[in-house]
């Protein structure tokens, strides 16, 4: 694939879906036969984590949220955060590509822990999203096969 950039935008439908899942998890925690202070503590922890990850990964509202994904001329994926930090990444094999959902597991150079990038249809321009899905599904597999031989 020739060099390209996909600018990310907030995915409101995914935010609503995750908020509903968080609410269901909190209700389930409240119904468990545990002491009330423990239940309330778990509900607060789950709620805080959900708000943080929805703001960072779905609404892209934090300074260290992803802003864009770029494929450069060397076939390297470069992730850019809102605070203008750039990371060269490798796509890990446990990434998932579906027509309406893509979950990229990325190993950032210089970092120990991988990060996930959740892309849904309203996360980016439709044509750019399709182009990236095709490249992620077929281009990376083809490149890894040709590099082994």
pLDDT band at 149 (very low <50, low <70, confident <90, very high): very low
State mean pLDDT over 88-104: 90
Distance, CA of 118 to CA of 139 (rounded, Å): 19
pLDDT tops 70 at residue 142:
no
pLDDT tops 80 at residue 143:
no
pLDDT for the residue numbered 141: 54
pLDDT for the residue numbered 148: 47
Q: Give residue for tokens 């509900």.
A: 43
Residues near 137 by Cβ (< 8 Å), separated by ≥ 6? 97
pLDDT tops 50 at residue 116:
yes
State mean pLDDT over 71-95: 90
pTM: 0.82
Which residue, 147, 144, 146, 128, is CA-closest to 2?
128
Mean pLDDT of the chain: 89
pLDDT for the residue numbered 64: 92
pLDDT band at 140 (very low <50, low <70, confident <90, very high): low
Per-domain residue ranges of the chain = 4-9+65-148, 12-58
Distance, CA of 29 to CA of 40 (rounded, Å): 8
Going 45 to 114 to 92 to 138, the CA torsion angle's sign is positive
């Amino acid at each position: 694939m020739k060099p390209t950039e996909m600018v990310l935008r907030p995915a409101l439908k995914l935010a609503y879906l995750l908020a509903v899942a968080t609410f269901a998890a909190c209700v389930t925690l409240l119904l468990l036969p545990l002491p009330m202070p423990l239940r309330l503590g778990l509900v607060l922890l789950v709620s805080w984590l959900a708000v943080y990850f929805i703001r960072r990964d779905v609404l892209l509202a934090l300074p260290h949220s992803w802003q864009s994904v770029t494929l450069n001329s060397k076939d390297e994926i470069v992730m850019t955060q809102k605070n203008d930090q750039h990371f060269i990444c490798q796509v890990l094999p446990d990434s998932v590509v579906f027509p309406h959902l893509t979950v990229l597991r990325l190993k950032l150079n210089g970092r120990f822990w991988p990060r996930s990038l959740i892309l849904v249809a309203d996360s980016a321009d439709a044509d750019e999203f399709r182009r990236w899905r095709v490249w992620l599904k077929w281009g990376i597999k083809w490149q890894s096969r040709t590099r082994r031989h």
